Structure 1
Amino acid sequence: MDVVRLVDARTYIAPKHYDMRSLRLQGVDASAADFAWAGLSYFLPGGGAEMDAGPLGKIYVVIEGEVTIELASGETQVLGKLDSCFIPGGEGRAVRNDGNVIAAMIVVMPYPEKNA
């Protein structure tokens, strides 16, 4: 078992994100998880992620505050505490914290296929 204590979690840079800080909870360089990685993102008020469409699906779980998810299709959802969503690979999405308190969100993503 690989245990990562929050106090020991390392920061990482998430491209195209702003006013956001992230910690690696599992996978990549945090543990031996070989099927997916998990991160914790803290979005300051007004913070977010630019519209982007990555090749891999992702799961978001909001654990504090509210986060607005806008899809390239125009659909918009506001996720509150313990709400979650799955965004398929190739689907454009933007993330925003439109509130006045810090929002926290768990992100879970698979690793890319090694021979893809």
Structure 2
Amino acid sequence: MQVTKIKDAKPYEAKLHWDVSALRLQGLEASKLESFSCSLSYFLPGGGCNWSSSPNEKVYVVLDGQATILTKEGDKEITTELGKLDSCVIGYNEERSVENRTNQVVTMLVIVSNS
């Protein structure tokens, strides 16, 4: 078993994000987990991430607050609000953006496949 105590979790800078603090809990540099990584992200009011995609699947679980997830279906932009304990899957190469449009911090568990 590999344990990461929250007091020992290492911060990292998430590319294309602003006003976000992220801690790696498992995978990548945090543990020997090979198939995915797990992180905890804190989106400050007004924080978010730019439109982007990646060759990885992602699961977002909102632990506290309300996050706005933007995706696209063809030329149409889809806006989805996720509240406490709501979750979504972002598919392989699916373009998305995340925004905190509230005045409260959004705490989100982010799980990303390594393939």
TM value normalised by structure 2: 0.94
Q: Does 1:7 find its partner at 2:10?
A: no
Choose between structure 1 and 2: higher strand proportion.
2
What do you get for the CA RMSD once the two structures are aligned? 0.8
List per-residue Cα deviations over 1:44-88 (Å, max 9, x = no partner): 000000011111110000001010000033111000000000010
Percent of aligned pairs with the same amino acid: 43
Work out which of the residue numbers 93, 106, 109 in structure 1 matches 2:109.
106
Unaligned runs of 5+ in 1: none
- Tell me the residue number matched to 2:26: 26
Q: Which runs of 4+ in 1 moved over 2 A?
A: none
| 1:53 partner amino acid | S
**CA–CA distance in structure 2, aligned partners of residues 33 and 98 of structure 1:** 33
Q: Does 1:71 find its partner at 2:71?
A: yes
Verify the 8 A CA contact 1:51 1:72 in the aligned structure 2: no
**CA–CA distance in structure 1, aligned partners of residues 94 and 36 of structure 2:** 19
Unaligned runs of 5+ in 2: none
Count of aligned residue pairs for this structure pair: 112
**CA–CA distance in structure 1, aligned partners of residues 8 and 106 of structure 2:** 21
